[in-house]
Amino acid sequence: MTAQPVADRGTWFRVESGSAGSAVRRAAERLGGQLGLPDGRIADLAIVAAELTSNLIKHAEDGVLLLRPVRRELDAGVELVAVDSGPGMADLTDSARDGHSTTGTLGIGLGAIVRQSSWFDAYSRPGRGTVIAVQVLADPETERPWVGGLTRPLTGEPVSGDGYAWRVVGERRQVLVTDGLGHGPLAAAASDAALTAFRAAPASSPADVVGHLHRALSHTRGAALAVAEPDPAAGLLRYAGLGNIAGVVTTRDGRQRGLVSLPGIAGHQRPTIRQYDYPFDADSLLIMHSDGVVDRWRLADYPGLVGRSPLVVAATLLRDAGVRRDDAGVLVARSWP
């Protein structure tokens, strides 16, 4: 079995001045050292952090950056996700070319980010802002992820009560989204308990895994959660949820179908657990989120976004549909690499 570890949720930085940029760069270098990156890759990481924050300072509105560890089966490194609501770019490929500039500078920033990264993806629309996701690992090249997600705490809270995880057990690929009851450290503890139990759960159906998580959370304040199993070979998505986790299957042509979660709180009461199967083929995309993300979004409003990486899709939706009065979390998984 391979699984995402119970991960450090990372640190969000609001990037509005040069001092914030310096703080991000130092934090990235420190994290890279803790994860054992070679000196040369830490130097590359410093360039990436500096250029990302410089872009946010020069071009962005409401620019924020997430810094966190990223772990692979045989490798580890640092992931940075820069999000803004600025003027955006009409052509990211053109903007990544050395010499391109919109502010009279040398225009080498985005190109430098692409060259130093192990993995890079981005999405931008004029007038809507930009999302850039970067990984810097010891290996200069890494595979394109099939799943990605991120969480953001309620404004003023140090931790988020929302969480997510994924695992591969034999031929099964399964994902989890959880929302600890309330917010703050106790909500985060409930979500962490769900993530730990998910990693250790037997290889079984989503409904059985949800039952396992329900029993494992009895010592916590409880959580809403949902487990999904994309199976494009069978043309199905198997899904079981308790409480207010939203799930949507969307296709490249923009059609969206909502998924059913039953009422209940994992860890409390005696909930009814039921699994539902939905069509899920090679063109399908799964999106799951907590109630800290409003459900009025439509991928059809974001031309080209469905073809971007799961992490960039998740970050874009969190930016535009996440609310500040609650923890918020989004996970996206696809059937194609």
Question: For the domain that residue 105 is a member of, what is the CATH number?
Answer: 3.30.565.10
35 and 152, same domain (yes or no): no
159 and 256, same domain (yes or no): yes
Q: Is residue 142 part of a domain?
A: no
156 and 302, same domain (yes or no): yes
Beta bridge partners of 169: 172
Q: Encode the chain (337 residues) as per-residue pLDDT tens digits.
A: 554 544 467 899 999 888 888 999 999 999 999 999 999 999 999 999 999 999 899 887 889 999 999 987 778 899 999 999 888 887 765 445 444 444 434 345 788 899 999 999 999 999 889 999 999 998 777 778 899 999 999 988 889 999 999 999 988 999 999 999 999 999 999 999 999 999 999 999 999 999 999 999 999 999 999 999 999 889 999 999 999 999 999 987 778 999 999 999 999 988 899 999 999 988 899 999 999 999 889 999 999 999 899 999 999 999 999 987 899 999 999 976 5
68 and 133, same domain (yes or no): yes
- pTM here is 0.92
226 and 133, same domain (yes or no): no
9 and 57, same domain (yes or no): yes
Of 137, 164, 185, which residue sits at a domain end? 137
What backbone phi and psi angles, to 5 degrees, belong to 140?
A: -65, -15
Of 137, 161, 179, which residue sits at a domain end? 137
Q: What is the DSSP letter of 157?
A: -
Structure token digits, residue 35:
């994860």
Residue 297 lies in domain: 147-334
Helix (H) or strand (E) holding 42: helix 39-59
Are residues 147 and 175 in contact, defined by beta-carbon separation less than 8 angstroms?
A: yes
Of 137, 161, 181, which residue sits at a domain end? 137
126 and 246, same domain (yes or no): no
